[in-house]
Structure 1
Amino acid sequence: MVAGCGMKIVKLMMFAVNFCVWGAGCVILGLGIWIKVYESEYRDLLGSDNIQAITALMIATGSAVFGIGFCGCCGAWKERPIFLKIYFVLVIVIIITEFVAGIMALVYRDDVLQDITTAMNKQITEEYGQSPAITNSVDNLQEELLCCGASNYTDYADSLKWDAGTGKAVPKSCCKKPPSDDCNNGNSKGDPSQPGFIYDQGCVEKMNNWISDNLTVLGGVCLGLLGVQILALMFSCCLIRAIEEEKIYITSKMGCITGILRILMFIINVTVCIAGAGLLGIGIWMSVDTNTFEYLFTEDTLTVVSIITICTGTVMFILGFCGCLGASKRNKCLLSTYVAILGILVVAMLATGITALVYFDTVEDYMEDRIYSIIVDEYGEKLVANQTIDGLQEDLNCCGSKSPKDWADSKYWNHTEQLPASCCKDNQDCVDVPYPFEDETVNQQGCYESFNDWVNDHIGIIAGVSLGFILIVVLAMVFGCCMIKDKDQYEYA
C-alpha cells in the first residue's frame, strides 16, 4: 500500500472524483438506452433524422465516461497499475478529442447556427401547435431567452399547424415581461399590432449572443476542466510509480506528490500574493482619493469599505507570502502560519455568508436607496455618476431604481426634461418621452428589480463559485498540513 499523507490524499481524491464520473457515465448511458427504447415518444422533440445520432452519441459518451470512471476508481482504490495505465490513456484520448471538438466548433460555428435556424423554422412551420413536445419546447426556449421565432417573430406567418385564434399574431411566450392580455394581438400571423411589446430578436441570434457574452465563463470552465484532467494524469503517474516501485513514500526527495503540491502551492500563492497587493493598493487609493468613489458609497460607508479592502488585501498578501515561501523553502513555521490563516479565513467566510443571509433585506434596501440617491442628486453633475447609472441601465435593460418614474425627481430631468438614452430599449429614441414615461420604447423595469432577477437567474453559478472557493481553501489547508507532516517525517528519517 502506498505511504505518505500526500499520496493517501491523492488516492482518496481520485477514488471520490472517479466514482462520481462513473456514476455520471451510468446516468448518460441509461438515458441513451431509455431514449432508444422509447424512441417514438421523443421523435417529435428531437426529430427522426437526429434521434439515431443523439442516442448513439449518448450511449458512446456514457460508455466512455463509465470506463474512465471505473478504471480511475478501481485503480486508485485497489492500487492496480493496469487500471491506472488504461485510465491515463483514456484521459489523454479525451483531451485530444476535446481539442478536436473545440477546433471543429470554431470552424463550423456558422454552419451549426444555420442548421439550428433551419431546424427551428421547420418546427415552427410544420409542428408548432400540433406536437405538445415541440410546442412546450419552443415556448420554454422563447420565455427563457426572451426571444421570438428562429430569426424573428415574422417566422410565425408561415406556421401551418398553430391555431393563432382571433387576432393573435404570435404565441404568448413571445411577449415581453410582464405580458399584458393583448400583447400578442395582430391582424394576422407574424404581424403583431404592437411590435414594441414583442421580443424582436430571434432565438438563434439570442443563443449566439449568449455564447458570445459568456465566452469568458465558458473558456474558464473549459480551462478548469483541462486543468483537472492534467492533474488527473499527473496523479495517476505518481500512483503508478509509487505502486510499481513499492517504495516507502518518505524518501530523501520527499515523494512525487509532495513535489507536485509544492509547485501548485507556489504558483497559486504567488497569484494570491499579487491579488492581495492589488486589493491593498485599491484600499489605500479609496482612503486617499475619496472623490473618485463617493458616487458609489456614502462617506461613512466609504470609510468602512476602504478599511475592509485594506484588511482583506493585507491578509491575502500575508497568506500568499507564507504559502509561497513556505512551500518553496519547506519552512514549517511559515506553513503552520499559512494553515492557521486559512482556518480563520474559512470561519470568516462562513460568518460572512450567515451575516449576508440575516441582513439580506438591509443590503437590498441600501442598494435601492443608493441607486435612487445617485439618480436624484448626482446624475448629470458628476461624470462617474453618469457612467455608473448608464452602465447599469444598459447592462440590465432597466430604467430608474424602482421604475422610470424615479427620473421625475432627478435634477437632470428637471433641468433637461429628457430621459437618459440608457433608458431606451434596443437603442431606440426615447429621451423625449413625457412623464410618466409609459412608452414601449422605455425599459419599464427598475434596476433594483432587474439586479434581483439577475442574481436569482445566476444563483446556481454564484453558489457553485462560492462552494468551489471554499473547497479550494479546505484543500489548501489539507495540502499544507500534509507538507508539514511530511517535513517532520523527513527530518525524523
Structure 2
Amino acid sequence: MAKVLSCGVEFIRGILLLLNVFFALVGLGLIGLGIYVKVDNKISAVLTFVLIGGGIFTILIAISGCLGSLWRNRCLLYLYAIILGVLMIIELVGFILAFVYKDKLEDVYRKTLTTVFVNALIANDTKVLDAFHDMEESLQCCGVNGKTDYTEYGKDAPSWCYEYQQGCSTIIINTLKKNLPIIGGSLGAVLFLELLSFIGAIVLAVALKHAPDDIDSSSPRDVIAQVIPGRRRNYYKLS
C-alpha cells in the first residue's frame, strides 16, 4: 500500500529524482567521451577504460536512486545512500591526500610520463610517439622534460623542439596549478550534489518508514479504520 508523504518530503523526493537524472546524463556523457577516446587510437586504452567504467558506475548509482525514489523502496534508498557515502569519503580522502602530497605527485607524474616516453622512443612505438607529438604541437612544448629527452637516446628532436624548449610535463603541471580554483570548485560542486542526494535518500527512507498508509476506499478494513479512528491496528489483529 502506498505511503502518504508530506509536501516537504514529496519535494525532497522530486529533487532526489532530478539529481539522479542529472547523474545519469553525466554517466552517459562519460561513456560517450570514452567511446570517442577509444576511436582515437592515439590515446591510452587506460583512459578509455576509466571513462567508460566511470560512466557505467555513475549510471548504475543513478538508476538505484531513481528507482528508490519512484518505487518508494527503502532498501534501494539505503543502498544508494551507503554507496554515495563511501564514494564521498573516498573522494574527500583522495582530495586531501593529493593536496598534502602534491609535490610528490608531481615527481611521480614526471617520472611515469618520462618512462612511457623513453620506452616508446627506444622501441620506436609510433602509436605512442604520435600521441606525444600531437601533444607537443598542441601545447607548444618538447618531450617530457625538454629536447634532451630525444638527444640523450641518439634520436633527432622534432623541428618544433628548436622553437619550444620547455618540457610538456612542466606546461601540463603549470596549467593544472593555474586552473586549480576551477578544478577545486568543480570537485566541491560534485561533492555538494552528492551530499544533497545522500541526505535526500536518508530523509526519504526514514519518512517512508514512519509515513501512514494511504486510505483505500475499496478495502473494507480501510473504510472501517477511517470511520473508527485508531481502530485499524486492532481490526487487523482481530482479522
TM-score between the two structures when normalised by the length of structure 2: 0.68
1:118 paired with 2:120, answer: no
CA deviation after TM superposition for structure 1 residue 24, in Å: 4.8
- Structure 1 unaligned regions, length at least 5: 175-191, 193-197, 249-493
User: In the alignment, which residue of structure 1 is the partner of 2:149?
Assistant: 155
Output the CA distance in 1 between the equivalents of 2:15 and 2:101.
38
* Cα 1:136–1:14 shift into 2, 3 Å: farther
User: In the alignment, which residue of structure 2 is the partner of 1:16?
Assistant: 18
User: In the alignment, which residue of structure 1 is the partner of 2:219?
Assistant: none
Output the CA distance in 2 between the equivalents of 1:61 and 1:155.
34
User: In the alignment, which residue of structure 2 is the partner of 1:103?
Assistant: 96
* Cα 1:247–1:205 shift into 2, 3 Å: farther
User: In the alignment, which residue of structure 1 is the partner of 2:61?
Assistant: 68
Letter paired with 1:148: C
1:221 paired with 2:186, answer: yes
User: In the alignment, which residue of structure 1 is the partner of 2:229?
Assistant: none
Output the CA distance in 2 between the equivalents of 1:72 and 1:126.
45
Letter paired with 1:19: V
CA deviation after TM superposition for structure 1 residue 75, in Å: 0.5
Output the CA distance in 1 between the equivalents of 2:130 and 2:12.
46
1:134 paired with 2:113, answer: no
- Structure 2 unaligned regions, length at least 5: 214-239
Output the CA distance in 1 between the equivalents of 2:93 and 2:48.
19
* Count of residue correspondences: 208
* Cα 1:2–1:87 shift into 2, 3 Å: farther
Question: For residues 384-415 of structure 1, what are the alpha-carbon distances to aligned partners after superposition, in whole Å with 9 as ceiling and x for unaligned?
Answer: xxxxxxxxxxxxxxxxxxxxxxxxxxxxxxxx
SS at match of 1:110: helix
User: In the alignment, which residue of structure 2 is the partner of 1:200?
Assistant: 165
User: In the alignment, which residue of structure 2 is the partner of 1:146?
Assistant: 140
Asked if 1 retains the 8 angstrom alpha-carbon contact of 2:81 and 2:201, the reply is yes
CA deviation after TM superposition for structure 1 residue 202, in Å: 1.5
* Cα 1:30–1:142 shift into 2, 3 Å: closer
Output the CA distance in 1 between the equivalents of 2:131 and 2:12.
43
Output the CA distance in 1 between the equivalents of 2:91 and 2:136.
30
Greater length-normalized contact order (CA 8 Å, ≥ 6 residues apart): 2
* Cα 1:223–1:58 shift into 2, 3 Å: closer
Output the CA distance in 1 between the equivalents of 2:84 and 2:4.
23
Letter paired with 2:65: G
Letter paired with 2:88: I
* Cα 1:119–1:85 shift into 2, 3 Å: same
User: In the alignment, which residue of structure 2 is the partner of 1:240?
Assistant: 205
Output the CA distance in 1 between the equivalents of 2:212 and 2:135.
57
Output the CA distance in 2 between the equivalents of 1:59 and 1:218.
21
Question: For residues 4-23 of structure 1, what are the alpha-carbon distances to aligned partners after superposition, in whole Å with 9 as ceiling and x for unaligned?
Answer: 55544433332233234345
Letter paired with 1:84: L
* Cα 1:234–1:2 shift into 2, 3 Å: farther
1:79 paired with 2:68, answer: no
Residues 38-57 of structure 1: pairs in structure 2 closer than 5 A: 46=44, 51=46, 55=49
* Cα 1:136–1:15 shift into 2, 3 Å: farther
Residues 391-402 of structure 1: pairs in structure 2 closer than 5 A: none
Residues 261-276 of structure 1: pairs in structure 2 closer than 5 A: none
Output the CA distance in 2 between the equivalents of 1:70 and 1:29.
15
* Cα 1:230–1:29 shift into 2, 3 Å: same
TM-score between the two structures when normalised by the length of structure 1: 0.36
Letter paired with 1:114: D
Letter paired with 1:93: V
Letter paired with 2:136: Q
Find the partner of 1:170 among 158, 169, 187.
158
Residues 76-475 of structure 1: pairs in structure 2 closer than 5 A: 76-128=69-121, 130-159=124-153, 164=156, 169-172=157-160, 174=161, 192=162, 198-246=163-211
